[in-house]
Structure 1
Amino acid sequence: MDPAERRRVQRRTVLVLSTATVLAGFATGASLSVGALVLAELSGNDAISGLASAVFNGGAAIAGIPLARIAARRGRRSALVAGSAVAVAGAVVAILSAAIGSWPLFALGVAMLGVSSAVSLLARFAATDLALPENRARDLSFVVWSITVGAVVGPNLIGPGEAVGLGLGIPPLAGVFVFALAAQLLAALVNWIGLRPDPLLVSRLLPPETGSVATPARPAETAAVAASRTPGRDRDPAPPAPPSGPGARWLAILAIAMAQAIMVALMAMTPLHLMHHEGTPEIVGVTLSLHIAGMYALSPVFGTLASRLGRVPVISLGWVMLLASVAIAYAAGPSHLLVQLSLTLLGLGWSAVTVAGAALLTELTPSAERPRWQGRSDTIMSAAGAVAGALSGVAFALGDFSFLALLAGGLLALGAAASIPLGSRARGARSR
């Protein structure tokens, strides 16, 4: 494939992935906004409400590796469409279970709908398959940004969803899942029609050295050739990444997982915290919309910064924002404004860590091994969110939002500690 054709196919691929991801975002917005409230309503137990985020992320975790295997064998297109099909079935189960009042069955439906999150995670990696090294973080971040529309609109569909729910004879809040069902069907259709040719299958036809910024310099290059280069030109277009290796990859995965755990833990209990302090469904919707906008709206900015400044500095910036979020959440009390500020910073910090972390992991991994390591990352990331979501309900029931923020601070310390060796290795790489 010549460079011009590669750029053309990559532009089409990013456009298709972005369009499908916009639609997939409705499932995220619907599940995050009303899942906990519907579970609390059906079960009559606030502690069980934390299962909404837990099972949503659990579904994504279970699907991560199988979808990666499908991608490795049959391409990204087959994997993305298969994941969307499971999410469609999940939306149907959620609607039917709400109609009969079964909270365990509703939890299963939310878990199946959580596969849509695994699809979105896979889509962001699909955007890197044909990307040039200098554009890899940017293209990845554009697909992440695309979740913004559906995910931000989703929580604000509570009102229309209630009307749909009443019309169908199910709990009003569950009506939002009807929108998620339609969106998932459209997302599957867009990927099925649009991802031709398949980016992963095409990328396997490219020369190996084009697949990774972290590929070592060719020994055949002589000192004379190196000396002939003009200063400021012919340099590696992307900031140098830490030397590749399983250890560095696991550190990057740990950092991403901790950011996910912090985000899910605080976000999962925000609706109940607000409702316990004279909040309304509308305030919950606005708060989660601000949070989700923070997660996705500025992802292209973080992608650009990661390309220009380096992946690890942007990860470090994310930890700073997450620290500010945790501190504000600890002090928020009944203040809706402080909770909204905390949740916005929570989304921004999560975005910086996960965008830069995903780009870093891609560059640390040889092309042939990327689907496997990307699947591991997505599974561990989602599993961390599932565990955090489940335990957040227990922590909230035992203490309060401040206690939950304190526990999130411990996760933050672990994630930041994992980033320190990555920073040291990156500085070592630049000095060589």
Structure 2
Amino acid sequence: MGDGRGPESSRERPLGIAEVVRLAGRSLDALGLVWVEGEVTQVSRPTSGHLYFALADRGAVLPAVMWGRDLVRQKFEIVAGLHLRVRGRLGVYERDGKMQLYADFAEPAGAGAEALAREQLKAKLAAEGMFAESKKRPLPKFPRRIGVVTSSRGAAVHDIIRTVHRRFPTPILIADAAVQGPTAPHQIVMGMAMVVRAGVDLVIVGRGGGAATDLSAFDHERVVRTISRCPVPVIAAIGHEVDLTLADLAADARASTPTAAAELAVPDGAAIEEIFIKVRSRLDREIRHRLNRANQDLDHAALALHARGERAISARGSELHRLQHRLAALHPRARLAAKHATFNELSRRLASTHPIARITQGQRALDGLLARCTAAIQRSLANGRSELARTGAQMAALSPLAVLDRGYAVVRSGEAIVRDSAQVVAGDRVHIRLAKGSLVATVEAEGEAK
């Protein structure tokens, strides 16, 4: 190793494996601190507290380790999928003979740092409940004055003014503020404070569309906290529909565009006018209805008053007639008439209790029962005759004699009825029963039925 190129080796004097590994480690260590960039893969964190991971880039993989003392200083968690820029020293792990990076610091690479910082701030504010739906306040239906915090030179402010005056003209106080750049967060916060002190009922914070980096002012922690603590409701109208900043999450309402924010801020004047017309028409109908009801009630009251007058006169007349009747009842002629009526009633009652009347009534009842009994017996006899005739007709229809009356005969050979010519032979005597009378015949020959 006298020439500085490392130990010489040959077939006769080969280097040992440990010596080669140590030589490679010293060569890599001579490079000093290096910065590398790649995507994190194969993350492992055992109980020792150290972090083992790998960085991949264009098909190459570099194992890395970060000791626990360096890991605790990291402001974010290293997980698979992150694209990091890592600082450390290269070395060889002697046991496996593999090169690895001994990292002492890591940060997200490029735009990843901003995205990671945003996600960390989002998680922090969400944990504080700053984005909770329960914190959202309702917007005033008819704001007396609207504060707008945006750039006075952008298209957003003109869209808001034009939409508010078209829908429902309302005073607008504009706080000019930069909406991008390093001073934008401070100007937005100061603009909100200014319009709130001026006495507005509603604040619109917004800007037109732009790249994601142009909207970073609305992800600033100070801006988000100011929106959350604002004493009046806030509408966020930042970028386009696809853009969603932390200010959108903290605001009481979010609009996809500045025009949509103005539509949320004030009602539709044309729709309100139409509602007023309908309400006025309904009130006119209600007033006419109430007037008609009042006129009807007045007519009913007049009729009731007239009826009460008539009832009072009628009551007085009835009282007069009652007094006349009492006076007439006290007259001797009236007493005689009452006695005569009593006598007539007693006579009627005596006549009704006489036995002749009861006998006559009983006789009429007996005659009625006799007539009903006779009619019932006649109906029963008629029904019996009809049933007998129907049964007789059925029996006649089923009688063998009825078949004989139609020209048929019953032939017997001995006691058996002959139904087939095969039952007799020539010379047999048979008895033939006709509808009237009978015959005795001798079989001469058999023949086929015709």
Q: Report the TM-score when normalising by structure 2.
A: 0.21
Q: More strand by proportion, 1 or 2?
A: 2
Q: Report the TM-score when normalising by structure 1.
A: 0.21
* Greater RCO, CA 8 A, separation 6+: 1
